[in-house]
């Protein structure tokens, strides 16, 4: 038998013995329901996700530790790193475009305000607003660190952009960052301005009380702010921070007699 024939048969046999990387499996029924529930919850508010788009969102919530089980040969699934790369730029673009259009700021100041999208801040926002990403991201042998949560958040923004386009991605991003953007604006940061005014005028203790109503997947927050034990402002919004900002705005106007 020719050497070339032996070598060819050896190569074919070797390939047959190898375990080729597995393609991503479709999301199971429980996983699909989990992904749909997360997307339906405010501030995402995406309820009509096509079944063919579920794997895209599932991939956005899959960390590389889950994608590669560490077995030999490795069982390889798609992780969220490529979507995280895309989502990072979509997120920064939306915030930068909003700052450019809404505020007359120099580049340095706009860049400072873009810092709300840094990883530690993203993880904090995810947890504080109860977006559910920290509980939905699939991982293996890894705690939900700030980096993992932030990467999954950016990957999800990337998935929303690919599935729904820039308009929906923009609406979602601005809804999530509404309070963070307002806090960067000294004119619209009513909570900060109220705190400064109360301290400057020595008006007493400033306190906020909150009440959540509505169904769990569509909550409404109500806030009441008191100064020296006297109620001066109330507000309602989709988020706790938004309700507090509205209440603070009303209180500031009443205290100033506006």
pLDDT tens-digit series, residues 65-103 = 887 665 444 445 689 999 999 999 999 999 888 888 776
DSSP state of 43: T
Q: Is the peptide bond before 73 cis (omega within 30 degrees of 0)?
A: yes
* Whole-number pLDDT of residue 228: 93
* CATH number, residue 36: 1.10.1520.10
Residues 98, 212, single domain; the answer is no
Distance, in Å, from the CA atom of 256 to the CA atom of 41, rounded to the nearest integer, reads: 38
* Whole-number pLDDT of residue 258: 62
Establish if 91 belongs to a structural domain. yes
Residues 243, 129, single domain; the answer is no
- 19 or 218: whose pLDDT is higher? 218
Residues 230, 169, single domain; the answer is no
Establish if 156 belongs to a structural domain. yes
- What are the structure tokens assigned to 86, written together? 């895309």
**Which stretch of 32-41, 70-79, 181-190, 230-239 has the lowest confidence by average pLDDT?**
70-79
pLDDT band at 1 (very low <50, low <70, confident <90, very high): very low
* CATH number, residue 231: 3.30.160.20
| pLDDT above 50 (res 148) | yes
Residues 242, 170, single domain; the answer is no
Please report, for residues 9, 162, 189, 205, the alpha-carbon distance to residue 4 in angstroms, rounded to integers and kept in the order given.
Answer: 9, 48, 77, 89
| pLDDT above 70 (res 189) | yes
Cα 234–Cα 239–Cα 240 angle in degrees, nearest 5: 55
* Whole-number pLDDT of residue 204: 92
Cα dihedral angle (238, 80, 113, 111), rounded to 10 degrees? -160
Return the closest-CA partner of residue 45 out of 173, 166, 135, 211. 173
DSSP state of 71: -
* Whole-number pLDDT of residue 220: 81
Residues 137, 223, single domain; the answer is no
Establish if 237 belongs to a structural domain. yes
Please say whether the beta carbons of 88 and 177 come within 8 A: no
**Which stretch of 103-117, 172-186, 227-241 has the lowest confidence by average pLDDT?**
103-117
pTM (two decimals): 0.66
Residues 119, 211, single domain; the answer is no
SS3 content of the chain, % helix, strand, coil (to 5): 60, 10, 30
Which residue has 């673009």 as its token pair? Answer: 93
Establish if 9 belongs to a structural domain. no
pLDDT band at 3 (very low <50, low <70, confident <90, very high): very low
Per-residue model confidence as pLDDT tens digits over 104-147: 677 777 777 777 777 778 999 999 888 999 999 999 888 889 99
* Whole-number pLDDT of residue 21: 38
Residues 65, 154, single domain; the answer is yes
Return the closest-CA partner of residue 225 out of 129, 176, 204. 204
SS3 44: coil
Residues 175, 194, single domain; the answer is no
Establish if 5 belongs to a structural domain. no
Residues 146, 132, single domain; the answer is yes
* Whole-number pLDDT of residue 60: 96
Please say whether the beta carbons of 61 and 136 come within 8 A: yes
What is the phi/psi pair of residue 201, to 5°? -90, 0
Establish if 128 belongs to a structural domain. yes
Count structural domains, the chain.
2
Residue-range definition of the domain harbouring residue 234: 190-255
Boundary residue ending a domain (184, 209, 240): 184
Reported as half-sphere exposure (CB side, CA atoms, 13 A), residue 202 has a value of 0
Residues 62, 154, single domain; the answer is yes
* Whole-number pLDDT of residue 25: 47
Residues 61, 173, single domain; the answer is yes
Boundary residue ending a domain (147, 167, 184): 184
């Amino acid at each position: 038998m020719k050497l070339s024939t032996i070598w060819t048969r050896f190569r074919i046999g070797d390939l047959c013995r190898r375990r080729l990387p597995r393609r991503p499996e479709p999301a199971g029924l429980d996983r699909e329901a989990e992904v749909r529930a997360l997307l339906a919850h405010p501030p995402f508010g995406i309820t009509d996700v096509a079944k063919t788009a579920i794997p895209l969102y599932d991939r956005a919530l899959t960390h590389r530790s889950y994608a590669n089980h560490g077995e030999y040969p490795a069982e390889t699934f798609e992780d969220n790193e490529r979507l995280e790369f895309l989502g990072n730029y979509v997120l920064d673009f939306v915030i930068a475009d909003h700052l450019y259009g809404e505020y007359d700021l120099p580049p340095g100041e706009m860049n400072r305000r873009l810092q709300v999208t840094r990883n530690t801040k993203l993880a904090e926002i995810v947890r504080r607003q109860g977006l559910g990403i920290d509980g939905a991201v699939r991982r293996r042998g890894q705690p939900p660190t700030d980096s993992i949560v932030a990467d999954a958040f950016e990957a999800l923004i990337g998935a929303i952009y690919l599935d729904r386009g820039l308009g929906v991605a923009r609406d979602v991003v601005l809804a999530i960052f509404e309070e963070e953007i307002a806090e960067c604006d000294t004119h619209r940061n009513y909570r900060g301005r109220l705190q400064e005014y109360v301290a400057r005028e020595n008006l007493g203790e400033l306190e906020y009380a909150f009440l959540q109503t509505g169904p769990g997947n569509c909550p409404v927050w109500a806030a009441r702010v008191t100064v020296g034990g006297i109620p001066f402002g109330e507000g309602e919004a989709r988020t706790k921070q938004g309700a507090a900002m509205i209440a603070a705005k009303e209180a500031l106007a009443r205290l100033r007699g506006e």
